[in-house]
Structure 1
């Protein structure tokens, strides 16, 4: 349908050009009518308010041209009728496009997809809560171990937990605790010690 609307706009623009060909080149109305017709031709149908404003502006200019001796009443009526039809086509195009979008968003499949996305988000939130509570538990255990033993390396702190946790995980927890100011560190790499 969009192609039909553009085709109609092109034909009307051609007709307006033929009609204004009789105007003197020195007449500003000739160039103003053509400029507005080109803006209508290039306007995006999705921007209905702009399109409508351009057509109304063109109607005013056409009325001005027909009130003088520039164009005949018949040519004025034909152009006005065709631009009115074009505007009507744009409105119906936009309405049918919106109806299509509404159908898509209301389809059972899209509702299922939306529900699935909500479930995944909920699961992720629960996993994040669980991870955060695990992190809090690990950090608490690390703090207690550091209070008990004093300055310790990552390797010495890995055995703190009842469950198997990698040295990298312990190191990440310790670094996060250093960043938050809960503990301090000194030394480099293998010789690094963490303490309260």
Structure 2
């Protein structure tokens, strides 16, 4: 019986994703998985490029290097966190510049470029607000956005069809493809409001450990409880939060 218990424990450890070793830093896990999804989106978009187009391989290398560099966070000392965040933002800026060149050269559609540029800018905000202060105490007020995932979609135009590739971190971790109509991206103002709400929610949960939607609504008064619920669900899908209880008695806490 004891041997079976040990074997079960060993199997559970083997089945864990490598990223699970960072589970105590929910912000890093969210940012890394977001980067991973955006890297997949870049690969999908560049699938439409000719193999003879140098930009195809440049973009793929740059985004792969970004994923690898972010993993180096595990070796960053407290005194170097700001430098790490700055370097990540520089790499994101370089990637966005390459994407803009591709767009202006006619390699990427306007819709694809607009959406993926916004997603990378949102990722940059994550590193601005979280990684420059991740090892400092959390305070009640927040001035910058924390997480920003306004639409989580990258539309890839091919011929007369629009395909949408989801970059959201769903619990099933699949890439969904569907047909859509052209859609204007969310405004920067709306994106900031959402990221600020997410920032506040995580700050509250770090202090209170377990909260209900009504608890959070007492602090965030500029939106409905339904909106707060959607934010909480997005965190659950990303593996950042967990929920206990049913419906109105549900309580949320950090994983």
How does the TM-score come out when normalised to structure 2?
0.38
Decide which structure has greater helix share.
Answer: 1
How does the TM-score come out when normalised to structure 1?
0.49
Decide which structure has greater strand share.
Answer: 2
Greater Rg by CA: 1
Structure number with the bigger relative contact order (C-alpha 8 A, sep ≥ 6) is 2
